[in-house]
């Protein structure tokens, strides 16, 4: 390898606190964002296209990423959302995909050390410089330009649909108004498999927008960033609570809690992976779940009951109100990737709108 070729493969990761790690460039470019990790060892295509990773640098704790190729039918959205990707080893298939997407990626560094640092110190900001002209100074410049997640006040606009999209208009199930704060495609697919009519509307939809769809159910999706920045979605919850059933997943749970008198807070390093144990307080049953969030409900308020908790840290994983017809989950019942232990959440949601489903559905092909 020539010196020029060697330089083209050089990369640096500058981490909050002053450390700069040398790595190998697999997709060139510069990136900055919050450094987080996922423990999932499969489902890298789904993770990389999950809108909840917007404005973050995603580190894979599993050492080899890409060992079964890249297939578009597994994507959860139309593009890669992390600003940068870090792994111990990336296959050429994934590296080529990220290069085409314009997302910088690096490997050949000790990801165990990075993950340990995040667990001990919390999620950190970082900057990446990869490929030609990469230097430690350039990586530090990117780090200095980082913006805290709570300050990304317009992050919903980056991941939401620009206008209303209607799926399965002739369906026999209830009409669902899905507030798209960064929804995974599998959430839509899980509703469509149960023959719901799904109107996906922007994250900043107004009451007038919802009135035009005339839904039987309001559903707040997952998404990236601080739930307090999704004021329009919270306003819809406040407007319709008690008159329409309301459901939420991940960020959706946090938005619902904020709207109904609760509060949220940033976690030390979040939950990201496919093996998070959740206990139902009513049945004492434990299920394994897929999760991807850096914020959590700190207090549910007086109107919501905590029905499920994380076994590892007791954070709320399910909120419900029988009187108000509200049901939310902090984890991702639709999985993709991950276990299918909680798919019946979608049956519970549609039953709130008076629709009986055939339980046991396993998920339809994704819509993007």
Which pLDDT belongs to residue 359?
72
Is residue 276's pLDDT more than 90?
yes
pLDDT band at 266 (very low <50, low <70, confident <90, very high): very high
CATH of 3-147, one of 1.10.3470.10, 1.10.580.10, 3.20.20.150, 3.50.30.20: 3.50.30.20
3-state secondary structure of 227: helix
| Domain locations in the chain as residue ranges | 3-147, 155-352
User: pLDDT for 44-63, tens place per residue?
Assistant: 999 999 999 999 999 999 99
% of the chain at pLDDT higher than 70: 96
332 is catalytic: yes
- For residue 7, what pLDDT is reported? 64
Residue 332: which of 322, 317, 348 has the closest Cα?
317
What tens digit of pLDDT does each residue of 142-185 get?
999 999 999 999 999 999 999 999 999 999 999 999 999 999 99
Question: pLDDT-derived band of residue 360, with 50, 70 and 90 as boundaries?
Answer: low
Mean pLDDT in residue range 328-340: 95
Q: What is the pLDDT of residues 284-301, one digit of tens each?
A: 999 999 999 999 999 999
Strands 197-202 and 165-167: antiparallel
pLDDT of 208 > 80? The answer is yes
Report the b/e string of 158-170 with b at 16+ CB within 10 A.
Answer: bbbeeeeeebbee
Residue 250 falls in the annotated catalytic set: yes
Residue 90: name the closest of 74, 77, 103 by CA.
Answer: 103
Looking at every residue in the chain, the average pLDDT score rounds to 95
The three-state secondary structure class of 333 is coil
Question: Among this protein's residues, is 356 annotated catalytic?
Answer: no
Residues 125, 193, 250, 293: which is the catalytic one?
250
The CATH code of the domain at 155-352 is 3.40.50.880
Question: So what's the pLDDT on residue 362?
Answer: 53
Do 228 and 295 touch, CB atoms closer than 8 A? no
Mean pLDDT of 8-13: 94
Residues 37, 271: Cα–Cα separation, whole Å: 9
Q: Given this model, what pLDDT does residue 176 score?
A: 98
Residues above pLDDT 90, as percent of the chain: 93
Give the residue numbers of the binding site for L-glutamine.
52, 223, 225, 251, 254, 292, 294-295
- Residue keyed to tokens 């994380």: 310
In terms of Cα–Cα distance, which of 138, 85, 125, 123 is closest to 107?
A: 85
Query: Which of 138, 133, 192 minimizes the C-alpha distance to 346?
Result: 192
Q: How far apart are CA 342 and CA 290, in angstroms?
A: 10
């Amino acid at each position: 390898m020539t010196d020029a070729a060697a330089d083209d493969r050089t990369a640096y990761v500058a981490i909050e606190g002053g450390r700069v790690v040398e790595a190998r460039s697999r997709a060139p470019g510069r990136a900055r964002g919050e450094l987080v990790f996922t423990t999932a060892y499969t489902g890298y295509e789904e993770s990389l296209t999950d809108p909840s990773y917007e404005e973050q640098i995603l580190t894979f704790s599993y050492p080899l990423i890409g060992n079964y190729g890249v297939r578009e039918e597994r994507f959860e959205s139309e593009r890669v959302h992390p600003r940068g990707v870090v792994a111990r080893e990336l296959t050429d298939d994934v590296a080529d995909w990220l290069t085409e997407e314009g997302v910088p990626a690096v490997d050949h560094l000790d990801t165990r050390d990075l993950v340990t640092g995040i667990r001990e110190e919390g999620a950190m900001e970082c900057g990446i410089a990869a490929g030609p002209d990469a230097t430690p100074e350039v990586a530090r410049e990117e780090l200095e330009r980082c913006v805290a997640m709570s300050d990304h006040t317009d992050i919903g606009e980056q991941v939401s649909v620009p206008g209303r999209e209607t799926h399965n208009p002739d369906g026999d199930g209830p009409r669902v108004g899905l507030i798209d704060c960064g929804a995974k495609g599998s959430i839509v697919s899980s509703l469509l498999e149960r023959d719901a009519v799904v109107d996906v509307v922007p994250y900043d939809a107004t009451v007038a927008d919802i009135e035009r769809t005339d839904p039987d159910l309001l559903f707040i999706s997952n998404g990236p960033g601080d739930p307090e920045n999704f004021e329009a979605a919270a306003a819809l919850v406040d407007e319709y609570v008690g008159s329409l059933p309301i459901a939420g997943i991940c960020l959706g749970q946090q938005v619902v809690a904020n709207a109904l008198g609760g509060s949220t807070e940033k976690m030390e390093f979040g939950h990201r992976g496919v093996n998070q144990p959740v206990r139902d307080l009513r049945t004492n049953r434990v299920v394994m779940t897929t999760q991807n969030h850096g914020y959590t409900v700190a207090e549910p308020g007086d109107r919501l009951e905590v029905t499920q908790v994380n076994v590892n840290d007791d954070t709320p994983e399910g909120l419900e109100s029988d009187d108000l017809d509200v049901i939310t989950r902090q984890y991702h019942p639709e999985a993709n990737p991950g276990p299918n232990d909680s798919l019946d959440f979608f049956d519970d949601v549609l039953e709130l709108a008076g629709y009986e489903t055939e339980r046991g559905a396993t998920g339809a092909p994704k819509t993007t």
